């Protein structure tokens, strides 16, 4: 019997259209895989066996009738549990929303459903997407399929782990400061963060509204282009989506990078970069040089301020966005509150976990009277400088290449200091601050047999360039990453 769970989305799409199998067979194959290995990995918070098979039956019926079933018809996928869905609950891995049922689908979710994708269920994350290890979930621990003693990264650890463990073909995820790219790096997946405004955020439970972006976590670059084609585009329900024509990203995968100018920011290749990670990145650079790409050093001089700026802006926006969870309209409501003040205090104290509370307090502080100008306003000014750094760099180059994560996957509990954990996203944060597209893809294994990730950053709305570069490297790197050693 074919192990369909090992296949990519485009392989499954082609097999279905050629009549080699059925959507029901493929979906059952994935559900059996989840049943076999997810007890060890802990990626899924909800598994939608019945509705997934119902979707598959409908796809098969439409295929039999010769209907246009969509570019992702019959492809099983997972959803990070912060997207509103008519199926199941939308929990954000928080006690605050443990029983919340959304009255609508997020725009990106609806577009995937319209394209024929089959929803296997929802996967784990750091609570409200706040974290870099998925250790902040209120419900369970998700483990890295490459080493069950290690974290999968975060906040989209469930997405990365479900893809790496072959428990879905791809996952819809979100990235506020690296939450797609960093776990993709740690779990050996391809993770794409589009330009801010390329994909509608309608129906994504907001963390930091000026930084959040939705994108796919996939098995290869071709799948990333395929999914991006489906989810992006103007949405009248999200005023921040760009009213720009959307290219066919799959056609960008030409394999040709001759004459492409790739910048290497000197601030990202300092002594703080792990030597083993540096060696793997340098090998990737050699591959692209061999394909005709031209490399040059560029400078992003305000990089040192990015982490501080990010944690001022994102906590400020989180403080505002999470104020709606007050125990009154929806969400966790403490049963023993005697008055409105107790209701607020007890509901929020028990509904939110420690990291979410930390960020709400930090954000409220930087927005408070007497501190707004000193922190939040100044951070926004430095954010503009970071964006200008990229603008100047892109006058010299077409794409910027960096590491994705400073380290390989680390063990549970290894980073108990919040600041140390925040530095896990040091190479990804600036891309969100500057509203640029970025992609992470595997570039080899460390001596501990754990994946390392390569990041490519593009000009605004030039996802095609980073996809083309990533695909060229993937096709010519000369080795197969293999599978995570999960039984």
Residues that are catalytic: 80, 155, 179
Q: How far apart are CA 337 and CA 334, in angstroms?
A: 6
Question: What b-and-e string marks burial along 289-320, b requiring 16 or more CB atoms within 10 Å of the CB?
Answer: eebebebeebebebbebbbebbbbbbbbbbbb
Whole-number Cα distances in Å, 112 to 109, 214, 215, 436, 449: 5, 13, 12, 23, 34
Q: Specify the length of the chain in residues.
A: 487
Q: How far apart are CA 85 and CA 183, in angstroms?
A: 23
Burial label for 340, CB within 10 Å (0-12, 13-18, 19+), is exposed
Place of tokens 């419900």: 139
Whole-number Cα distances in Å, 123 to 27, 33, 41, 142, 486: 17, 15, 11, 9, 18
* Secondary structure of residue 233 in the 3-state scheme: coil
Question: What b-and-e string marks burial along 350-374, b requiring 16 or more CB atoms within 10 Å of the CB?
Answer: ebbbebbbebbebbbebbeeeeeee
Is the Cβ–Cβ distance between 471 and 256 less than 8 Å? no
Is the Cβ–Cβ distance between 196 and 213 less than 8 Å? yes
Phi, psi of 223 (to 5 degrees): -65, -40
> Quick count: other Cβ atoms within 10 Å of Cβ 447?
7
Q: Which of 423, 387, 389 is nearest to 308 (CA)?
A: 423
Q: Which of 170, 181, 292, 154 is nearest to 230 (CA)?
A: 170
Burial label for 51, CB within 10 Å (0-12, 13-18, 19+), is middle
Q: How far apart are CA 389 and CA 404, in angstroms?
A: 19
Place of tokens 């394909």: 291
Q: How far apart are CA 132 and CA 121, in angstroms?
A: 22
28 dihedral zone (left: phi>0; alpha: psi -120 to 50; beta): alpha
């Amino acid at each position: 019997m074919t192990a369909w769970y090992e296949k990519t989305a485009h392989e499954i799409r082609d097999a279905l259209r050629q009549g080699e199998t059925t959507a029901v067979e493929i979906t059952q194959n994935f559900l059996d895989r989840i049943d076999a290995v997810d007890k060890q990995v802990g990626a899924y918070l909800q598994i939608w066996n019945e509705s997934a098979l119902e979707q598959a039956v409908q796809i098969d019926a439409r295929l039999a009738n010769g209907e246009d079933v969509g570019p992702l018809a019959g492809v099983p996928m997972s959803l990070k549990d912060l997207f509103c869905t008519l199926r199941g609950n939308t929990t954000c891995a928080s006690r605050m929303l443990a029983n919340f049922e959304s009255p609508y689908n997020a725009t990106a979710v609806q577009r995937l459903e319209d394209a024929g994708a089959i929803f296997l269920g929802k996967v784990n994350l750091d609570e409200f997407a706040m974290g870099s290890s998925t250790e902040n979930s209120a419900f369970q621990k998700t483990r890295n399929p490459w080493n069950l003693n290690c974290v999968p990264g975060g906040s989209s650890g469930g997405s990365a782990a479900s893809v790496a463990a072959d428990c879905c073909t791809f996952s819809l995820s979100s990235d506020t400061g690296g939450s797609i790219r960093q776990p993709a790096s740690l779990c050996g997946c391809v993770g794409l963060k589009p330009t801010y405004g390329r994909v509608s955020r309608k129906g994504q439970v907001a963390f930091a509204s000026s930084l959040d972006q939705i994108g796919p976590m996939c098995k290869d670059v071709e799948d990333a282009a395929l999914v991006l084609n489906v989810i992006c585009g103007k949405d009248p329900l999200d005023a921040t989506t760009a009213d720009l024509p959307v290219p066919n990203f799959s056609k960008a995968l030409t394999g040709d990078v001759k004459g492409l100018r790739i910048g290497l920011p000197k601030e990202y290749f300092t002594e703080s970069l792990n030597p083993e990670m540096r060696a793997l990145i340098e090998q990737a650079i050699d591959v692209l040089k061999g394909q005709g790409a031209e490399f040059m050093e560029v400078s992003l001089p305000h990089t040192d301020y990015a982490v501080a700026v990010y944690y001022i802006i994102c906590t400020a926006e989180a403080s505002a966005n999470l104020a709606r969870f007050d125990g009154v309209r929806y969400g966790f409501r403490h049963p023993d509150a005697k008055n409105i003040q107790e209701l607020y205090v007890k509901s929020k104290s028990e509904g939110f976990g420690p990291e979410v509370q930390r960020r709400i307090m930090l954000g409220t502080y930087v927005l408070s009277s007497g501190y707004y100008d000193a922190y939040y306003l100044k951070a926004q000014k430095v954010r503009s400088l970071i964006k200008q750094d990229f603008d100047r760099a892109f006058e010299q180059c077409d794409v910027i290449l960096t590491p994705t994560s400073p380290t390989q996957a680390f063990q549970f509990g290894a980073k108990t200091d919040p600041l140390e954990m925040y530095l896990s996203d040091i190479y990804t944060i600036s891309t969100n601050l500057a509203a640029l597209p970025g992609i992470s893809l595997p570039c080899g294994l460390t001596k501990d047999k754990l994946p390392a990730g390569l990041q490519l950053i593009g000009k605004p709305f030039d996802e095609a360039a980073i996809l083309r570069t990533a695909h060229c490297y993937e096709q010519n790197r000369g080795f197969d990453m293999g599978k995570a050693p999960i039984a």
